[in-house]
Structure 1
Amino acid sequence: MNTSSMSYTPIDLPSLAKKVNPKLAKVIPRCMYRKLERLLHVKEINEFFAAHHDDDARTFLDAVVSHLDLQIVIEGQGIEALHALEGERVIFASNHPYGGPEAMALFSIVHQLFPDAKLVAQSFLKFIKPIETACVFNKKEVKTLMEAANNRSSLIFYPAGYCSRILSNGEVFDYSWQPSFVRIARKQRMPILIIYTDGELSRKVHRWTRFRKLLRIKLSIETIFLVDEMFKLKGKTLRMVVGSAITPEMIDEAKMSDRLLADKLRQYCYELRKDPELVFDPNIVPTLPQL
């Protein structure tokens, strides 16, 4: 444990509830807090952050992978595809099956060869201080970073913006990929590397998603299970498939909109699940449902 671990302020759910909604906090029974603490693995998270809150980004990411005891298997073009692009600015884009641990694992791998890489992340990750400076949180920050004269940063995108859900065909896929990563790659002359990550959330999470939508609740209440889903991965194997690089020249020659190319790259990502050696073909037909 770090000698500075005493400076870490542990997560305390009752205190947090009082700050967010004092009236609601008064009526929440103590047993409910205990259940939430178990569901959110508060004790284990507090112990981890007490030991690692002062780490730099790479050390922290490696510690997350180690703590979860994730066995990462890389297939397809493999780590060699990353080595081939070393020294370049690259756009990495991947599906998002779990909503968190796979991002930490991919970030850990990428950071070894691309130390200036940034994760395009949701704003809540600002609270994870070791990786805050290794993330960009909105379009404005991405634009500022990309326009900096000395910018050497690669970017890691999860273009769906959400973890994968059961779509209209009854199967689990990402929602439609937002085309901003293609737009940046085109403008900045950056190659795109698609990485497929195998896996999906438990059926319980998907049942809650369906229940919420049935009641027309917009708030994604099922995300409360994501921490527990992450810890269920402990000791498991995380399979990643690295696709072929899509060069700036290929993007130019494809002569298609950012939206259409994003749809094709999403399709390609899921084709890698079945055929890890598949090379991207601009003529691929996007057949996956959007919602």
Structure 2
Amino acid sequence: MTKKFIDIEKIIADKNPKLLKRLPTFIINYLKRILWQDEVNRIIQDNEGVSGVQFCRNVIKEFNITASIEGIENAPKTGGVTFASNHPLGGMDALAFIDQFSHYRSDIKFIANDILLNLKPMQDIFVGVNKMGATAVPSLKNVDSVLANDESVVIFPAGLVSRRKNGVIEDLEWKKTFVTRARKHNVPIVPVIIDGKLSNFFYNLSNLREKLGIQANIEMLYLVNELFKQKNTTIKIIFGKPIYPKDLDNDLKDTVLAQDIKRKAYSLKSK
């Protein structure tokens, strides 16, 4: 019998106990299905005792993902560094990045929503950040501690998976946090572009939800389902040249600089 490493009901209860009580059983069962609870637990059980980089490699192998990397020579080999990347795949992009970059540096940390810390094999790599509520600011101290320790940090500045607007798949606005933290700790920023896309279903649902004026990102519920659609695909990761804090324009706000770096990342596609 498969162990229950990921328990959807428990995750909801921990985040919002009142919501769990209001949800009918058929909704909970539907969530378990689209979040592939049984299959995810099976993968974790098959890799019991395996964590971090090796877990990522095993998942990449199971999904038959072909990952390639370009411009790795642009990444500093030692010292603190922030990698700012687009987020096209909602999960597999992170695993592919870790799988490939770990051959270059072993001290990789990934800034992630704290709900992903429920994935225990990744707890050594994920640095949890709670964007909501009273713990939002304190959780940023986790990011500071990693950068202060001269480790390599990867962040998806958009905070959400890429969307399709007017036929173009691209991140939403990049938040300034990665620029602010890089300045604070005097570490370089390396722009990264990851080539990949999700299904038309995901993008169409996202656009429909916006047209209907629904604020909740309901399409995010299907990201695990999207992950399983990425079997037998190729993921290309391109690293740009490092940008050092001393080279950032002090006359520009960090919010503006974040968008400039986003443009630099996307320009890597055409090179």
**Shorter-chain TM band:** 0.7 to 0.9
1:164 counterpart (140, 157, 162): 162
Q: In structure 2, give the amino acid aligned to 1:163.
A: V
Q: Within the alignment, does 1:63 sit opposite 2:63 as a pair?
A: no
Secondary structure of residue in 2 paired with 1:245: coil
TM-score, normalised by the number of residues in structure 2: 0.83
TM-score, normalised by the number of residues in structure 1: 0.78
Q: How many residues align?
A: 260
Q: In structure 1, give the amino acid aligned to 2:141.
A: K
1:49 alignment counterpart: 44
Alignment partners' CA distance in 2, 1:153 and 1:13: 32
Alignment partners' CA distance in 2, 1:196 and 1:149: 21
2:109 counterpart (107, 110, 118): 118
Alignment partners' CA distance in 1, 2:212 and 2:112: 29
Query: Alpha-carbon deviation of 1:60?
Result: 1.4
2:218 counterpart (181, 201, 221): 221
Give the gaps of 5 or more residues in structure 2: 130-136
Secondary structure of residue in 2 paired with 1:137: strand
Q: Name the larger-Rg structure.
A: 1
Alignment partners' CA distance in 1, 2:181 and 2:231: 35
Query: Alpha-carbon deviation of 1:38?
Result: 5.0
2:236 alignment counterpart: 239
- Percent identical pairs in the alignment equals 29
Query: Alpha-carbon deviation of 1:54?
Result: 2.8
Query: Alpha-carbon deviation of 1:122?
Result: 0.8
1:100 counterpart (87, 91, 107): 91
Query: Alpha-carbon deviation of 1:177?
Result: 0.2
Q: 1:180 to 1:124 in 2, by over 3 A?
A: same
Q: CA RMSD in A?
A: 2.9
Alignment partners' CA distance in 2, 1:57 and 1:230: 18
Q: Within the alignment, does 1:204 sit opposite 2:201 as a pair?
A: yes
Matched-pair contact (CA < 8 Å) for 1:121–1:137: yes
1:178 alignment counterpart: 175
Q: 1:249 to 1:150 in 2, by over 3 A?
A: closer
Deviations 1:245-274 (A, max 9, x none): 1123322x6653211211111111111111
Alignment partners' CA distance in 2, 1:180 and 1:12: 31
Secondary structure of residue in 1 paired with 2:198: coil
Matched-pair contact (CA < 8 Å) for 2:108–2:152: yes
Alignment partners' CA distance in 2, 1:184 and 1:149: 8
2:20 alignment counterpart: 21
Q: Within the alignment, does 1:266 sit opposite 2:262 as a pair?
A: yes
Deviations 1:13-37 (A, max 9, x none): 68988986356434x29xx94x655
Q: 1:148 to 1:163 in 2, by over 3 A?
A: closer
The range that moved more, 93-102 or 133-142, is: 133-142
Alignment partners' CA distance in 1, 2:73 and 2:235: 18
Alignment partners' CA distance in 1, 2:154 and 2:117: 16
Q: 1:194 to 1:38 in 2, by over 3 A?
A: same
Structure 1 segments of 4+ aligned residues over 4 angstroms from their partners? 10-20, 35-38, 147-150
